[in-house]
Chains A and B, each alone.
Chain A
Amino acid sequence: MQDVNQAAGGEAPEGIELFIPAVYDIVWSIVPFIIILVFFWKFVIPRFTAVMDDRTATIEGGIAKAEAAQAEADATLDQYNTLLREARQEAAKIRENARAEGSTILAEFKADANAEAERIVANAHVQIEAERQAALVSVRNELGGMAIDLASRVIGESLKDDRRSASVVDQFISGLNEPAKAKG
């Protein structure tokens, strides 16, 4: 066993020989290095870069999407505000119109009512005048009859002669009218 262990120690080179590599050592240090280099060059770094770029793109895409959504929301808000302002203006206009219209209608109503009232009053005047005339005529007739009757009874003679009686009545009525006019 000791022989094996001693052999395991190998022979240690001394001095500069420590730094002069054996051929097999050169081979077995270049080969692993090239394997590692090719592996990183062709596999690890491309994979790493690809996934990093993909992630960056995704994040940037997400940010862009969020910005777009934000812009859209802003635009919608603007639109909404504009609509709201327009609606308010429109409502105000309608209110103004309604008020104006209301006052016009009111004025018209007033005018109509006045006209109607005036018409009614005028009618009333006409009617009253007509009735007065009628009353005057009937009063004249009645009064005439009565007066003649009375006068007939007083005089005792008939005043049946129409021409005379009519002139008497007329004279009487004129006599009635005159003091009324004089009194005025």
Chain B
Amino acid sequence: MVSTATLAAHLGFVTSTHDDGEFHPPTLAEFFPPAIFFEGTPFEMNRIVLVRLLAVAALLLLFYIALRRTTRVPGRGQTIAEMAIDFVKVQIVDQILGEKDGRRFLPLLAAMFFGILAMNITGIIPGLNIAGTSIFIVPVVFALAGYIAFVYAGIKQHGGLRFFKNQLFLPGVPWPMHFILAPVELLNVFIVRPISLSLRLLLNMMVGHLLLVLCFAATHFLFITGEGLGFASAFGVLTLIGGIVMTVIEFAVALLQAYIFTLLSAVYIQQSVAEEH
């Protein structure tokens, strides 16, 4: 059982600054909050899990409201939803994969883009203040989905053997070089790709969160909890401005990372499907 006070504390802002008059810089503990529900079971939920579920619920709700009654001449909500999906379709999927293959992979890539975006954006929503994607396993799940998609697409297109041959043996290379290049390609395609995707997103979100916490925690300390600071507390203005600027940047990063993640996944699928790469 969780007491109401604990629950309130867990659901509230998680900062590293406590009211003990000393400054605590943010730590990685930010990303490992204690359990709130179902502790000790596989369905244990902590604050970040709840944030993730909330993001999913909001995403579903928005798209459901926008598209529940689609009309030929769209209303405002439908127009926005259409523009958003059209961005993914035109700027990422059709551009990389072409119209024909794009149609097959649009559901996956759109789910990827909007899922990541929704979970990224919670990082700057007051009250949530943490990106759902700032836990390693979340980007990994998305990356694995992309991984399965590009391996599946390649094997379906070329058959297993030719797919691996295409991926591992680069054309136009003298054959002895394959002894070196094939293992490198193996490592690159099947191991580095998903890991680099996951890490890029994870670290962007983690670092963004830590910077935000650092700025606001410093502001809090300099303005309120710090004792005997004198004029030094004026630096709080700078940290506050820094925090606001970082919030804006985090918004851009949330969009950008969702875009890059989806774009690279589309590129990987394209490279699997293509005749030669």
Give A contacts to B, CB under 8 Å: 1-2, 4-14, 18-19, 21-30, 32-33, 35-37, 39-41, 43-45, 47-52, 54-55, 58
Contact = CB atoms under 8 A, between A and B. Distances in A.
B70 interface: yes
A8 B141 contact: no
Given A33-B141, A45-B106, A39 B60 contact: yes
B18 A5 contact: yes
B16 A50 contact: no
Interface residues of B, number: 63
A85 B5 CA distance: 97
B82 A51 contact: yes
A11 B52 contact: no
B114 interface: yes
A31 B59 CA distance: 14
Contacts of A25: 49, 135, 137
Secondary structure at the A interface, as helix, strand, loop or mixed, is helix
B2 to A, nearest CB: 11
A18 B28 contact: yes
A51 B10 contact: no
B41 A24 contact: yes
A32 B135 contact: no
Interface in B103-146: 103, 106-108, 110-111, 114-115, 118-119, 132, 135-138, 140-142, 145
Please name the 7 residue pairs, one residue from A and one from B, whose CB atoms are nearest each other, closest first: A21-B137, A24-B44, A12-B29, A40-B111, A36-B115, A51-B70, A41-B107
Contacts of A9: 16, 27, 29-30, 33
B34 interface: yes
A181 to B, nearest CB: 123
A29 B70 CA distance: 30
Given A7-B6, A25-B49, A28-B49, A47 B67 contact: yes
Contacts of B142: 33
B107 A40 contact: yes
Given A29-B52, A43-B64, A11 B6 contact: no
A43 B141 contact: no
Contacts of A55: 72
